[in-house]
Structure 1
């Protein structure tokens, strides 16, 4: 195994003997009170007088534990079933409060307050509960091991908010049954941070406790609390039946005469089950699930991209407890499971151990066919069985060991991946992360005939390969650096994950330095850069890149950056029937300048512009060209109910003094949020792509247009009790179809109701 012989790996292991530093705090007692609190943001119940006061007094960003610019008083208490938190957020000018009615998890730019809870007191995971000034909820899971926050998690909890003459008030009730904790303990000891976000000229992060920038682990620094004596989760049981009804019509569009519409009526019941088998172990099951896309995917431009695009998962079954399956490499990409009949997920955490099992069949089998220069999408018209197994053991606060297996198989296809991983927190600022994988794969012999070039040669009926990842990361108050190594052998495959590149090794080394200020002109400047180099497993150069970026955060919640990149990379293969790179490709040097600007000049107005220009590889035609990409975005909250969101991407490439292609992509979404529970939204996604047939090899479509439309109404009592009604259609035109013509249209209804027992 090459990574075990790496000098970098050996040197990192030697650093593992460095002592770890852990934060400690005196615990605060949470009062136990009589029940019967009404969550209405009035705060008039006498129980609030018995609650513990926790003022939010520190500005942790952009300040460095400086006094908060506004006064916020939080109070906390519990009654054995709920954890109650209230906030009185004062404001010197309540007319400047930024808060809007939005769908759940869409309020992150608003005036809001929040609760972070580490219920195992081990600084690994934290629940996040946020509420804006009007009562709109947002929640997430923060994972300290992966340094990621996922808003995909949706809990059922209560909140209310209202704007007052002196600011706003928030009232929250979090059911203890919603949280995972060790209820074998008579007295709970958790970690808690109470937050307020105060967005004005800058966006202030205000906290109930200090956050030292020298320690990158913010969960570690949260205040310890004690209480919830005798708290029990109970074996909660949630049953969610659903009914989906719809009619879809399709037709074949032809230059002279279109075919007749063909209708497909669909009525599908489904059932989701959630069962807390024990306080630490949960079971999710789904039968005949509706995995249709309710929300349209974010539009992306794929012209001149050589690897498969990534799309976020949006389906609730896959999102629930998704963080349990995370590992250093992207081995679980559930968009690959497109249409299962049934699914099962078991997740649990007992003391220092966590585990997760996911299994589902699929009516079809899709996967990425990877390569070292490009990738493709594979499809087998066979049912497949899919499973993921994940286990992690936290030996102590410094060291975590893990195992992961991903399994996919059908009649004459399989892909099995097994691997181990570790994270070692040598000090508060230094950590080592490693993962070692082995795969065993077989693909139908006839599948290769569907592809050309690299993808065709990457398929076989007996493939076995190794994947490796090793990283050392240092992060302190102002300075950070990292070194990473990543490698996949030529026959390594991970079809359950998002892994478009194989036969590939990459090492990257980077560093950054930050300056902080409390002046009105800027509050943070960061200079960062990295150098990386990639080879095939045979040692052939694939890419060498150097980047430098300067980022400035300033007034009006602004961010401005400038990036300079120089990249040597190989083009497409001259002889597509051979996988060798040397003497079979040309090396091109790309030099680009990138800029980014973001500003929120007024309440409810968000403006962003990203650009890149310079020498770019024309991959299709194997030459260097001149590229330009401009991507503006604006979100305008016309009032507390209405929002206009517009994104546009313009990408063009010229070579040999002529146009190669021009792509325009527009994503327009108009929303009206009646209340925290209901909205109506119109989405229009339009693409217009032109290619110059005189400046492209082979046959190309000279002009192609696509227009997707979706009108959606939603009413949600909670994340699982909801109603959707919608209409969508698609139209296109090309060299033969001169005008935009619809080829697909549908209407649908969805009902679901959560019974919690």
Structure 2
């Protein structure tokens, strides 16, 4: 077993006595209690240079009373005028800003942590972090934080209710905390309160204990959140009478915490209208479904528990729930999550295959049940997943069950594996509707190992998914294959003007269930990182082999890819670009062409209160045969302009413009294809967030779509008002 933190290190928590004056949350840390609390000031860099003491001093102090955990952070700065204190919306803190992040792990299992961010302006971001899956800022917690500037830097005061933290009151294991300070100037400085290194795949293993945090409250509390939505919508299809709908809807969310480790959530008639629009994605030259992130509040409690090597549980598969119930339990030894939801008829069910993803109409209601348990044994955890989708009206089902485990062998080496078994009687009939059919069974297996140090990094993974595996409560776009993937990286360290210089080679070998090669490749490349948080990569695919259907040709492709990222300053906060050129398979025609793809994004702040977050992506294919060589066969574009005006710390006005277009030359296809298709979405929303669960929205959305010759012009518009308040 390895030690996850220095036994002599730790945060010292001081209890606030009844006679003490409690901190006022103004960010200033000027109360006497703070000066009487021992600071933790050992911080280490991972950027721009690894394994170095932080060049600027940061102090962290911890207090607590019978209701709250208080954390005070002071960040000293030799050039405080350069502090990047941008306005931002909740959960929109990015690496171009100065911010603090708390990674709070009450179990000290070093597997996951609740995260609490604040930037120098006072904007917050919260959610869940795990080393295996990264950050998820979807969950929101009730906490207060304020920031303040002083002559030599800035500071922040957190007040986090114990009711917002999932912990076992009876556990004798000390809590763990990791603090990150981020600042971006001519370099990006990433400074941790523990000795995190670039090579590690377990950042949380460098957390330090919070000593003195004893006799905590039971955590019993509850809240009720009613929501009222009023909307008026119109739907106009060319050649048909326009339809108008005016509807009012009332819904209710209830949360109960009978103790500090247990949470019960219930929702009735929830409104899951998208206040945040899903970003447009390029999908015209693929036969596989694209994953969409969960954003709906009810499904976000304990969302990290549901994560496994496979997307065995994807709550977006519950398309239109009438009601839902969720049980979540966290303690030092285990995590448990159970979700039951009644899903109304009308959604789509993904039916994955080897060479494409099809869908079936779920024209009957269903009950979706997702169960997940994760047991911890030191540096190893053992999990179990069970899902069930019961279609009562047709007396059919889909069920998935299986174990998984994670072993953190040491700080730089980890092993993960998962096995899932499925049984399905809900099959697609000749009209693509779900109906009771013959029983089919399948399996899905994954194993992955990774190890890294200052000089090398290696990752190896294998997958085996049988052709009859299906998971109606998860997300699987492809089954019926076996694959081996490998990544090997040589780390050269600082080289010339670059802070990091790496060379790498990636490989893949993938077979279908009949033993035919699906794809194989060996792809060398290099990546560098430098000033202004810049990075550049070049990746060469000299000989990729790939096919798009069982009877099709195994094509040989050559491609070159490159990309960059940069944080120039306060006004041009972040720019990114990714580009690829070479051979491309035109999936619709099952032929090889010449083409490429390009995607670019930029975060701009021309004014202090105005930000633009825009993206553009395009892909294209030119015919490559003798008769039509060089003629454009296919083009697709996706554009989003997301602009936000910060009227105050609580009020924002957001305008989103989206445009997606696809064009094909019918003369270059043997099958019937649509020459043009387009979809535009415009959205204007005023938001006022008075507190967690208490918010009001007033918005307008208009969508236009058209596929000439295949689908008529359609215009949909909606005006809505939404109000929620927490009791």
- The residue that corresponds to 1:352 in the other structure is 333
Map 1:57-136; keep pairs closer than 5 Å: 57-109=43-95, 110-136=97-123
Q: Deviations over 1:9-29 (max 9, x none)?
A: xxxxxxxxxx65544422443
Alpha-carbon shift at residue 444 of structure 1 (Å): 4.4
Post-superposition offset of 1:509: 2.0
- 1:437-485 CA deviation, whole Å, 9 max, x = no partner? 1100123463x4439xxxx9x9953211111112222222332212211
Q: Contact conserved, 1:571 with 1:619, CA < 8 A, in 2? A: no
Could you say if the C-alpha distance between residues 208 and 435 of structure 1 is closer, same or farther in structure 2, counting changes exceeding 3 Å? closer
Counterpart CA distance in 2 for 1:547 and 1:437 is 30
Contact 1:244 1:748 (C-alpha < 8 Å) held by counterparts: yes
Aligned length: 713
Equivalents in 2 of 1:345, 1:651: separation in Å? 42
Correspondence for 2:31: 45
- Cα distance between partner residues in 1 of 2:634 and 2:199: 48
2:397 to 397, 407, 414: 414
Residue correspondence of structure 1 range 168-179 to structure 2 within 5 A: 168-179=154-165
From 663, 666, 685, give the equivalent of 1:712: 685
Question: Equivalents in 1 of 2:384, 2:710: separation in Å?
Answer: 53
Whether the 8 Å CA contact 2:418–2:447 is kept in 1: the answer is yes
Q: 5 Å matches for 1:152-301?
A: 152-185=138-171, 189-213=174-198, 215-254=200-239, 259-301=240-282
Match of 2:717 among 742, 745, 754: 745
Match of 2:588 among 610, 620, 623: 620
User: RMSD over aligned Cα, in angstroms?
Assistant: 2.3
1:577-596 CA deviation, whole Å, 9 max, x = no partner?
Answer: xxxx3xx2211012111111
Name the SS for the 2:390 alignment partner: strand
Equivalents in 2 of 1:586, 1:57: separation in Å? 56
Partner of 1:558: 534
Q: Secondary structure of the residue that 1:154 maps to in structure 2? A: coil
Asked if structure 1 preserves the Cα contact closer than 8 Å seen for 2:522 and 2:544, the reply is no
Cα deviations by residue, 1:275-307 (Å, 9 ceiling, x for unpaired): 112221111111110111111111111111121
User: 1:321 aligns to what?
Assistant: 302
Using the TM superposition, give the Cα deviation of residue 510 of structure 1 relative to its aligned residue in structure 2, in angstroms.
Answer: 2.0
Contact persistence 2:12–2:39 (CA under 8 A): no
**CA 1:57–1:471 in structure 2 vs 1: closer, same or farther (change >3 Å)?**
closer
Rounded Cα–Cα distance in structure 2 between residues aligned with 1:386 and 1:566: 46
Superposition deviation, residue 212 in structure 1: 4.4
Match of 1:542 in 2: 518
For residue 147 of structure 1, report the CA deviation from its aligned partner: 4.1
Partner of 2:128: 141
Separation in structure 2 between the aligned mates of residue 331 and residue 553 of structure 1, nearest angstrom: 35
Partner of 2:466: 489
Comparing 398-407 with 37-46, greater Cα deviation is found at 37-46
Q: SS of 1:220's equivalent?
A: helix
Contact 1:113 1:130 survives alignment (8 Å): yes
- Other structure's SS at 1:219 match: helix
Contact 2:201–2:414 (8 Å) recurs in 1: no
Q: Does 1:593 align with 2:570?
A: no
Alpha-carbon distance between aligned partners in 2 of 1:42 and 1:384, rounded to the nearest angstrom: 53
Task: Please give the secondary structure, in 1, of the residue aligned with 2:581.
Answer: strand
Contact 2:146–2:158 under 8 Å retained in 1 = yes
SS of equivalent to 2:691? coil
Give runs of aligned pairs for residues 338-737 of structure 1, distance below 5 A: 338-364=319-345, 365-394=347-376, 396-410=377-391, 411-412=393-394, 413-444=396-427, 446=429, 448-450=430-432, 461-517=438-494, 521-566=497-542, 568-573=544-549, 581=550, 584-605=551-572, 606-655=574-623, 656=625, 657=629, 658-735=631-708
Deviates more, 1:597-606 or 1:294-303: 597-606
Report the Cα offset of residue 76 of structure 1. Answer: 2.1
Equivalent-residue separation in structure 1 for 2:646 and 2:612 (angstroms): 12
- Provide runs of 4+ in structure 1 moved above 6 Å: none
**Structure 2 residue runs without a partner (length 5+):** none
Report what 1:10 is aligned to.
none
What is the rounded CA distance, in whole Å, between the counterparts of 2:455 and 2:349 in structure 1? 42
C-alpha contact 1:100 1:639 (8 A) present in aligned 2: no
CA separation of 1:63 and 1:253: change in aligned 2, threshold 3 A: same
In 1, are the aligned partners of 2:5 and 2:208 still within 8 Å (CA)? no
| Residue number in structure 2 paired with 1:14 | none
CA drift of 1:233 comes to 3.5
Structure 1: give runs of 5+ residues left out of the alignment: 1-18, 574-580
Q: Distance in 2 between matches of 1:409 and 1:567?
A: 46
Partners of 1:197 and 1:624 in 2: how far apart? 46
CA gap of 1:64–1:570, structure 2 versus 1, over 3 A, is closer
Relative to structure 1, the CA distance from residue 712 to residue 341 in structure 2 (aligned partners, 3 Å threshold; closer, same or farther) is: same
Separation in 1, partners of 2:666, 2:499: 50
Residues 384 and 737 from structure 1, CA distance in 2 versus in 1: closer, same or farther, beyond 3 angstroms?
A: closer
State the Cα distance separating 1:35 from its structure 2 match: 5.2
Counterparts in 2 of 1:226 and 1:644: CA distance versus 1, 3 Å? same
User: How far apart, CA to CA, are the structure 1 residues paired with 2:338 and 2:420?
Assistant: 18
Q: Distance in 2 between matches of 1:141 and 1:223?
A: 18
Q: CA deviation at 1:310?
A: 1.3
Deviation at 1:215, TM superposition (A): 4.4
Measured in 2, the distance between the counterparts of 1:103 and 1:323 equals: 23
Question: Residues of 2 paired with 1:496 and 1:734: CA distance?
Answer: 32
Q: Is the 8 A contact 1:520 1:554 kept in 2?
A: no
From the two aligned structures, give the one with the greater strand fraction.
2
- Cα 1:547/1:378, change in 2 over 3 Å: farther
The whole-number CA distance in structure 1 between the counterparts of 2:29 and 2:415 is 47
Task: Give SS of 2:723's match.
Answer: strand
Q: Is the 8 A contact 1:54 1:76 kept in 2?
A: no
Q: Is the 8 A contact 1:465 1:492 kept in 2?
A: yes
The answer as to whether partners of 1:445 and 1:461 remain within 8 angstroms in 2 is no
Using the alignment, how far apart are the partners of 1:622 and 1:353 within structure 2?
Answer: 49
Alignment match, 1:337? 318
Pair 1:611–1:260, CA change in 2 (3 A): same
Asked if 2 retains the 8 angstrom alpha-carbon contact of 1:291 and 1:338, the reply is no
